[in-house]
C-alpha cells in the first residue's frame, strides 16, 4: 500500500502562506496561498463541468502561469491528466486523445484551432480552459491527501515501433523524484528554480512538483529567451535552472566576463553529454553545470554528474541518485551493455500496454560504468535524435514518410545542427521519378510536428540494411557520397 501524505499544495500554503510560489518575467508574483486558492477554485470549476476522480482528461497549453493552477486543480479532484506537446499536429494529438481514453481536452485560448481539429471525430469534448477561475466559496469534496500509488500524469513518448505510448506517473513517482533531487542538490529556503523548458515534458513539469514538495519558488518563463534567463540569474536571485545544451551555449556566451553570481547554485543539464569546451567556458564563468541522465519513464533525472567531477569524468552522466538503482546488463563489469534503472521514481508502466513483470526497466540505451561507478551513455535508445531538447524517434517519422504515395522506403537519422544540436534527415527511395520534395513537405505538414520534419531530404537508390534486412540508420549518411539529393 502506498503512502499518503497531506495534499502538497495545501501543506505549503499552510507552512509558507506568504512565500512566493510563482514568479514570471512579466511581473506576476503568486504566493503559495494564492496558488492554492486559484487551484482549488479551478478544481471546483472542473467538478462543475463533470470531471471526476479517475477521469482521463488532456491539457494543451504552453508555459502559462495557469498551467500550474490546472495541474494542481487536477490533483484536488484525482483525475489523470495527459500533458500534450503543443508542437504536435492535430492528427498527432488526436491519436493520443484516443489512445489514452480521454474524455475532455482542456486547451489554452491560443491553441483553440488545433484543439478543435484534434477532437474532430474522436468524441472527445474540447473545453477552453478559462484562465481566471470563477471566484466562489469553498464547496468541499476536494482531495485532502496525495496518494503515492494513484496515477497523476501521462506523457507520451515514442519507442522502437514509432507508435507513441503514454508513460503513467503516479504521485509517488513525482514525489520521490523531487526528494531524490533534493538529497542530491541540497535545499535552502532561498532556492528559486527557473523553468524555460516546456511544462508538458517531465523536465519542466518536475520543477512544478519540486515547488510544492519543497515549498520552493519557481521563476516561470513561457519559453527560452536568453536575455530573460540572464536577467533572472543576475537580478532575480534565481538559484537553479533546467536547460538543454543548445540553451546553455547561448547562455554562456551571454554571461560575459563577470560571470554568474555565487547565489546561482545549479544549472541542471539534460539531453546527453556536453562538449568539453562548453564545460570549460561554464566553469570559467561560475556556471555550475550538473549533467544528467534521465527520461520520461524516470520522472526526470535519475543520474547526475556534479560540477566537481565534470572534468575528471568528462562525458559521464554521473552516478544514480540516492533512491535509484542503475546497472548495466552485461556479464563483464566495465563493458558496454543496456542501461537498467529501478527506483520509486520509475514509472510502473505504459497506459494500455502489457504490464511490465520486472521492478526495473530496460532503457534501451547503451552504456558502461567506469571503475568508480560513473555512468557513460554511449548510444541512445533506438537511434533517437535529440533536437532542441525534444526527443525525436526516427521510426515514427519513417512510418509517416512511408505512407506517402510515390515513396517506396524511408530511413531517418540525425545530423549535427548548430542551433538545435541535431535535426532529422530523411533518406527516401522513390517509386517513380515524379515525386518531389514539395510533395513530401505537403504531406507531412499537418501530420508531423515541426521539430520532427526532416531538415534535409536525400533521394537514394536503396537503404543500407543488414543481413536480416534491418535498417542501418547509422550508415545512411554514407549514401550521400554517391546519392543524389
Residues at the interface with a copy of itself (CB under 8 A): 1-6, 8, 11-12, 14-15, 172, 176, 179, 182-183, 186-189, 213-215, 319-320, 322-325, 343-344, 359, 373
Residue 434: strand pairing partners:
none
Cβ-based nearer residue to a copy of itself, 100 or 267 = 267
Minimum CB–partner distance for residue 304 and a copy of itself (Å): 10
Cβ-based nearer residue to a copy of itself, 192 or 319 = 319
Cβ-based nearer residue to a copy of itself, 49 or 183 = 183
Residue 278, classified by CB atoms within 10 Å of its CB into exposed (0-12), middle (13-18) or buried (19+), is middle
Contact 167/296 with Cβ under 8 angstroms?
A: yes
Residue 414: CA count within 13 A, CB half-sphere: 22
Minimum CB–partner distance for residue 323 and a copy of itself (Å): 5
Q: How far apart are the first and last CA of the chain?
A: 59
Question: Which distant-in-sequence residues (6+ apart) come within 8 Å of 393 by Cβ?
Answer: 158, 159, 162, 382, 384, 385
Minimum CB–partner distance for residue 336 and a copy of itself (Å): 21
Give dist(CA 242, CA 264) in Å, integer. 12
Residue 455 DSSP label: S
Give dist(CA 21, CA 8) in Å, integer. 12
Contact 243/267 with Cβ under 8 angstroms?
A: yes
Sequence length of the chain is 485
What is the distance, to the nearest Å, from the Cα of residue 368 to the centroid of all Cα atoms in its chain?
24
Residue 70: which of 39, 114, 103, 108 has the closest Cα? 39
Cβ-based nearer residue to a copy of itself, 187 or 457 = 187
Cβ-based nearer residue to a copy of itself, 97 or 305 = 305
Cβ-based nearer residue to a copy of itself, 187 or 278 = 187
Contact 316/376 with Cβ under 8 angstroms?
A: yes
Minimum CB–partner distance for residue 322 and a copy of itself (Å): 5
Give dist(CA 62, CA 222) in Å, integer. 7
Minimum CB–partner distance for residue 316 and a copy of itself (Å): 14
Minimum CB–partner distance for residue 375 and a copy of itself (Å): 12
Cβ-based nearer residue to a copy of itself, 94 or 369 = 369
Residue 89, classified by CB atoms within 10 Å of its CB into exposed (0-12), middle (13-18) or buried (19+), is buried
Minimum CB–partner distance for residue 245 and a copy of itself (Å): 25
Cβ-based nearer residue to a copy of itself, 212 or 426 = 212
Q: Which helix (H) or strand (E) holds 409?
A: strand 407-417
Give dist(CA 345, CA 360) in Å, integer. 11
Minimum CB–partner distance for residue 145 and a copy of itself (Å): 8
Cβ-based nearer residue to a copy of itself, 319 or 452 = 319
Residue 370, classified by CB atoms within 10 Å of its CB into exposed (0-12), middle (13-18) or buried (19+), is exposed
Give dist(CA 451, CA 438) in Å, integer. 17
Cβ-based nearer residue to a copy of itself, 164 or 343 = 343
Minimum CB–partner distance for residue 237 and a copy of itself (Å): 16
Minimum CB–partner distance for residue 215 and a copy of itself (Å): 7
Amino acid at each position: 500500500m502506498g503512502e499518503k501524505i497531506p495534499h502538497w499544495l495545501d501543506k505549503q500554503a499552510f507552512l509558507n502562506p506568504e512565500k512566493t510560489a510563482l514568479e514570471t518575467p512579466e511581473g506576476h508574483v503568486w504566493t503559495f496561498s494564492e496558488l492554492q486558492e486559484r487551484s482549488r477554485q479551478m478544481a471546483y470549476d472542473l467538478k462543475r463541468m463533470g470531471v471526476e476522480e479517475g477521469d482521463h482528461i488532456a491539457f494543451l497549453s504552453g508555459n502559462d502561469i495557469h498551467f500550474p493552477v490546472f495541474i494542481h486543480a487536477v490533483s484536488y479532484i484525482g483525475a489523470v491528466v495527459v500533458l500534450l506537446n503543443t508542437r504536435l499536429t492535430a492528427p498527432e494529438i488526436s491519436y493520443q486523445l484516443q489512445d489514452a481514453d480521454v474524455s475532455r481536452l482542456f486547451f489554452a485560448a491560443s491553441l483553440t484551432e488545433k484543439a478543435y481539429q484534434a477532437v474532430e471525430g474522436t468524441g472527445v469534448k474540447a473545453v477552453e480552459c478559462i484562465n481566471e477561475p470563477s471566484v466562489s466559496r469553498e464547496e468541499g469534496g476536494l482531495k485532502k491527501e496525495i496518494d503515492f500509488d494513484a496515477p497523476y500524469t501521462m506523457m507520451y513518448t515514442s519507442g522502437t515501433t514509432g507508435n507513441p505510448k503514454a508513460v503513467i506517473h503516479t504521485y509517488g513517482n513525482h514525489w520521490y523524484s523531487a526528494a531524490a533531487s533534493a538529497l542530491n542538490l541540497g535545499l535552502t529556503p532561498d532556492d528559486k528554480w527557473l523553468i524555460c523548458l516546456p511544462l508538458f515534458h517531465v523536465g519542466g513539469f518536475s520543477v512544478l512538483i519540486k515547488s510544492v514538495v519543497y515549498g520552493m519558488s519557481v521563476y516561470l518563463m513561457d519559453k527560452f529567451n536568453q536575455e530573460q534567463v540572464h536577467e533572472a540569474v543576475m537580478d532575480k536571485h534565481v538559484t537553479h535552472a533546467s536547460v538543454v545544451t543548445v540553451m546553455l551555449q547561448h547562455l554562456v556566451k551571454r554571461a560575459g566576463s563577470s560571470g554568474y553570481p555565487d547565489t546561482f547554485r545549479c544549472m541542471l543539464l539534460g539531453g546527453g553529454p556536453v562538449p568539453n569546451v562548453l564545460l570549460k567556458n561554464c566553469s570559467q564563468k561560475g556556471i555550475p553545470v550538473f549533467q544528467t541522465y534521465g527520461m520520461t519513464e524516470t520522472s526526470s533525472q535519475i543520474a547526475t554528474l556534479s560540477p566537481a567531477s565534470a572534468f575528471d569524468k568528462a562525458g559521464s552522466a554521473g552516478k544514480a541518485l540516492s533512491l535509484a538503482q542503475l546497472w548495466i546488463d552485461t556479464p563483464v563489469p566495465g563493458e558496454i551493455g543496456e542501461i537498467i534503472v529501478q527506483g520509486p521514481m520509475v514509472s510502473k508502466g505504459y497506459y494500455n500496454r502489457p504490464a511490465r513483470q520486472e521492478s526495473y526497466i530496460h532503457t534501451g540505451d547503451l552504456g558502461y560504468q567506469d571503475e568508480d561507478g560513473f555512468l557513460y551513455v554511449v548510444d541512445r535508445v533506438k537511434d533517437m535524435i535529440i533536437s532542441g531538447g525534444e526527443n525525436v524517434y526516427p521510426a515514427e517519422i519513417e512510418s509517416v514518410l512511408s505512407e506517402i504515395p510515390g515513396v517506396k522506403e524511408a530511413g531517418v537519422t540525425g545530423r549535427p545542427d548548430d542551433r538545435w544540436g541535431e535535426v532529422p534527415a530523411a533518406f527516401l527511395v522513390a517509386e517513380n521519378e515524379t515525386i518531389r520534395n514539395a510533395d513530401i513537405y505537403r504531406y507531412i505538414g499537418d501530420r508531423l510536428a515541426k521539430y520532427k520534419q526532416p531538415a534535409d531530404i536525400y533521394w537514394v537508390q536503396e537503404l543500407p540494411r543488414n543481413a536480416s534486412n534491418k535498417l542501418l540508420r547509422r550508415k545512411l549518411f554514407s549514401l550521400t557520397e554517391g546519392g543524389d539529393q
